[in-house]
Structure 1
Amino acid sequence: MTESPTEPFEHAEHAKHVAHSGDDFLSLVSVVIAVLAVVAATVGSLETMETAKAFAEKNAAVLLQSKASDAWAYYQAKSVKLNLYTLFGEQTGAKPEYAEKARRYEGEQKDIEKQARDYEHKSHEALEASEAHEHRHHILTVAVTLLHIAIAIATISIIVRGHRWPFHGALLLGFAGVAGAIFAFI
């Protein structure tokens, strides 16, 4: 959710107008609106950061999987050479240089296999991290939406000149939004 950078100033301006009215309840509502606006902006920023982290981890997972695929292709190339030198060694009366090259390729294959499995493991970890950030992003989206609704409903208390039910509803929604934001990181 993109917010205007001047939105907190607008809420502060409304609060200043209400403060001049002399009604303590309306002043309280104005202060709560300003606090909710700051909290909503903070949660919105956290939501954006989680989105960026989810994309970064997903990109890392794809890159690591690509490296794993390359390593497996290299492994197979070494396997073909190993089989050829083993076959040449058997066909030509077991020349020592063929057996030596076959052992070398077999050793290289083991190193390449270890590296490919390591890339696959890291790719899986990055994918899991991406999913965790994405899940957190969804929770924060709901939390910031609740906070925005709370601000709108609290504003209704000012418009209807002191009716308390919208303010109490706004407080409940505000607490739910804050609780959701906290829950996202637990």
Structure 2
Amino acid sequence: MTHDPALEAHEHAEHAEHAAHEHDPFISRVSITIAVLAVLAASVGSLETIEAGGAITAASEAVLSQDKATDIWGEYQADSLKKHLYGLAADSGGPNAAKYQSTAKAQVAKQAELRTQAQDDEKDRDKLLAVSRRHEHRHHWLTAAATLLEVGIAVCTVAIITRRRTFWIGSLGLGLLGVVLFGAAYLS
């Protein structure tokens, strides 16, 4: 079964509306609380999904940056071998020694460029991993917030069934705690 916060919010709002028709002020207050908590839970659930997607996307981009860096480091090492081979050929003397020495020096310049490119890709990877971790961190806080809001809705339902004010106050506390965790997701 899939979790659809918007559908659940709509269902809870309908239950609250039916309960409100009893014209009991307590039931009306609890029904309004259910509606508010349902809207908050749906909103937090949507943000939770967005943060999870952001974490996955940033992690995937980090892998691509690492792959680019790895490819460039491979090319760097191949050029290092070429440089050494040309250097050996130049040291051997002969009619092409100057040409081999020149090619060996060109490889050194190319390697400097490749090193810079690979290091830049590794810096991009590190930044993307940090972004992914930040999204994942928010996702965990939002999961906890959505859970508390949904439990608050369930406790409101118990308050309607039992007509006990303590359950309603408990659901308000759970809702408040859910809102605090929601804020913590973006402040921490």
Aligned counterpart for 2:139 among listed residues 119, 137, 140? 137
C-alpha distance in 1, partners of 2:74/2:157? 63
Offset of 1:5 from its aligned partner? 4.3
Aligned counterpart for 1:127 among listed residues 129, 141, 161? 129
3-state SS of 1:22 partner: coil
Partner residue of 2:168? 167
C-alpha distance in 2, partners of 1:4/1:46? 11
User: What TM-score do you get using the length of structure 2 for normalisation?
Assistant: 0.93
3-state SS of 1:17 partner: helix
C-alpha distance in 2, partners of 1:10/1:84? 74
Count matched residues.
Answer: 185
Offset of 1:13 from its aligned partner? 1.9
Q: Structure 1: any 5+ residue segments left out of the alignment?
A: none
Offset of 1:4 from its aligned partner? 5.8
* Aligned 8 A contact 2:5 2:46 in 1: no
C-alpha distance in 1, partners of 2:98/2:90? 8
Give, as a single letter, the amino acid of the residue that structure 1 aligns with 2:40: V
C-alpha distance in 2, partners of 1:41/1:159? 23
Q: How does 1:15-54 map to 2 (within 5 A)?
A: 15-54=16-55
Partner residue of 2:10? 9
Offset of 1:3 from its aligned partner? 2.1
Give, as a single letter, the amino acid of the residue that structure 1 aligns with 2:143: T
Partner residue of 1:154? 156
Offset of 1:64 from its aligned partner? 0.8
* Aligned 8 A contact 2:5 2:42 in 1: no
Partner residue of 1:75? 76
* Aligned 8 A contact 2:34 2:156 in 1: yes
3-state SS of 2:119 partner: helix
Q: Deviations over 1:88-114 (max 9, x none)?
A: 111115822111111111100000000
C-alpha distance in 1, partners of 2:5/2:179? 21
Q: Does 1:114 align with 2:116?
A: yes
Give, as a single letter, the amino acid of the residue that structure 1 aligns with 2:77: Q
Partner residue of 1:102? 104
User: What TM-score do you get using the length of structure 1 for normalisation?
Assistant: 0.94
Offset of 1:9 from its aligned partner? 2.6
Offset of 1:8 from its aligned partner? 2.4
Offset of 1:7 from its aligned partner? 2.2
Counting aligned pairs with the same residue, the percent is 45
Give, as a single letter, the amino acid of the residue that structure 1 aligns with 2:119: R
3-state SS of 1:31 partner: helix
C-alpha distance in 2, partners of 1:46/1:5? 12
